[in-house]
Amino acid sequence: MNKLRKVILIIILSFIFGLLIFILLSKAVFATTNTNLSDLIKTINPSPPRISKEIIYENKEPAKDKPIILIFGGDVMLSRQVNDRMRRYQDYTWPFLKIAPLFQAADLAIINLESPFTISNDYFVPTGSFSFKADPQAIIGLTIAGIDLTVLANNHIMNQGRAGLTATKELAEENNIKTIGAGINEIEARQPAVFTINNKKFGFLAYAYPEDYSVATSDRPGIANLDQEKMIIDITDLRNKVDVVIVNMHSGVEYAYQPNQQQISFARKAVEAGADLVVGHHPHWPQSWELYQNKPIIYSLGNLVFDQMWSKETTIGLIARLTWNDNWQTLEFIPIKITDYGQATIIEDQTEKENLFKKIDVSENGLEQLNIPLPGLD
């Protein structure tokens, strides 16, 4: 009889113990389903990326009497060989390390992001593939560089479909980075991003050239395309709400030093509608610029972070640094070169800089140039 009681007691205790384990596991699962994207990344790879000690964070709020500094970088792609290098070096800040202080010193820093972030067990993308996907851990590179705004209106942001676009926008928001130019529908894709600095409001819009499945509609996620009529409506509406309107344009012929007619027509229409500045990207080469109705149009900044090491031209880009004080005060072009399949470095050699500026017909201090129209484009 005593043996029977012992057996019954063991069964009861085992049942109670099992019940407790079930309750604890249920709570853990529930907590996981309510986590945000950043926490989910940690569960996939708990080892935090290494951060360079060279990076110094600075207060980005300018003194009241100083001009407001804006800085623009070109195409950023964090997939393919760039991802391979970040993993190999165990450093997801690596692409931006040498240019981060320059971007941090600006009041607003803007880039064009060509690779959507997505949750995956494998981020390998072979050389030659144009379907990009970026490891969410690489967001730390944007944060240490002080990026405030990423342009998503381009021909690659929909490479991972709705899931990639959603993950990219959520991850950016969690890291205090705004996005423009793409959304879950057309209304969101055409929504501006607005920043207030020294009581001045800067409004940004973005558009890209594709005319395919990647264009957002009323019930489909995607990008805002180069529809001039819609762009004019957007600028007119934004013009009444902000002090400065800036339009980002993803357009042009790849691997060309001069803009094509689509770029010129769209950019000039934007200025006529009320834009104070137009900044372009997509050709992967830096291109010329002009003053149109006394407003700067920068047709292409070229690459900033990319793995196109197969030509010199695709390893050279421009950073545009502008200052605003009730008008554009200065426009400076800072040339960069990409080394080792993805790390941007400022070009210091004066001869190398002069050769680049001569090739694309710009000067280092842009606003010192005369307002000479581009040849054959009027």
The CATH number of whichever domain residue 265 belongs to comes to 3.60.21.10
The answer to whether residue 374 is domain-embedded is: no
- Other Cβ atoms less than 10 A from the Cβ of 158: the count is 22
**pLDDT at res. 362:** 79
Q: Are residues 83 and 155 in the same domain?
A: yes
- 145-167 pLDDT, tens digit per residue, is 999 999 999 999 999 999 999 99
Q: Does one domain contain both 101 and 20?
A: no
Task: Tell me the C-alpha to C-alpha distance, in Å, between residue 87 and each of 190, 276, 341.
Answer: 35, 40, 13
Alpha carbon 203 to chain centroid distance? 16
**Is 47 a residue whose pLDDT tops 90?**
no
What's the domain count of the chain? 2
In the prediction, which pLDDT does 378 show? Answer: 41
Q: For residue 59, is pLDDT > 70?
A: no
Tens of pLDDT, residues 317-370: 999 999 999 999 999 999 999 999 999 999 999 999 998 888 888 777 766 543
Q: Are residues 86 and 23 in the same domain?
A: no
What's the pTM? 0.83
Q: Which domain holds residue 273?
A: 68-368
Task: Give the model confidence (pLDDT) of 224-239 as tens digits.
Answer: 999 999 999 999 999 9
The H-assigned helical ranges of 124-282 are 139-144, 161-174, 186-189, 228-239, 261-273
Close Cβ partners of 286 (under 8 Å, ≥ 6 residues apart): 74, 257, 300, 301, 302, 316, 317, 318, 335, 356, 360
State whether 169 and 29 are in the same domain. Answer: no
Within a domain: 7: no
Whole-number Å distance between alpha carbons of 187 and 67: 33
Residues 188 and 122 in one domain: yes
Q: Give the span between the Cα atoms of 219 and 245, in whole angstroms.
A: 28
Same structural domain, 237 and 301: yes
- pLDDT class of 25 with cuts at 50, 70, 90: very low
340/272 same-domain check: yes
Q: 130 and 21 share a domain? A: no
Tens of pLDDT along 206-261?
999 988 999 999 999 999 999 999 999 999 999 999 999 999 999 999 999 999 99
User: 235 or 28: whose pLDDT is higher?
Assistant: 235
Among residues of the chain, what percentage have pLDDT more than 90? 72
| One domain for residues 31 and 177 | no
The predicted pLDDT at position 3 comes to 60
Same domain, 18 and 88: no
Residue count of the chain, please give it: 378
Could you tell me if 18 and 96 lie in one domain? Answer: no
- pLDDT per residue as tens digits for the range 267-309: 999 999 999 999 999 999 999 999 999 999 999 999 999 999 9
CA distance 48 to 36: 17
Query: What integer pLDDT is reported at residue 72 of this predicted model?
Result: 98
> Does a structural domain hold residue 195?
yes
With respect to residue 49, please indicate whether it lies within any of the assigned structural domains: no
pLDDT at 30: 35
What is the DSSP-derived secondary structure letter of residue 50?
P
CA 213/CA 101 separation, integer angstroms? 38
- Comparing 245 with 5, which gets the higher pLDDT? 245
Closest CA to 289 of 318, 314, 316, 312: 318
Does 173 map to a domain? yes
Structural domain contains residue 268: yes
In a domain, 9, yes or no: no
Domain identity same for 32 and 93? no
Q: Per the domain annotation, does 261 fall within a domain?
A: yes
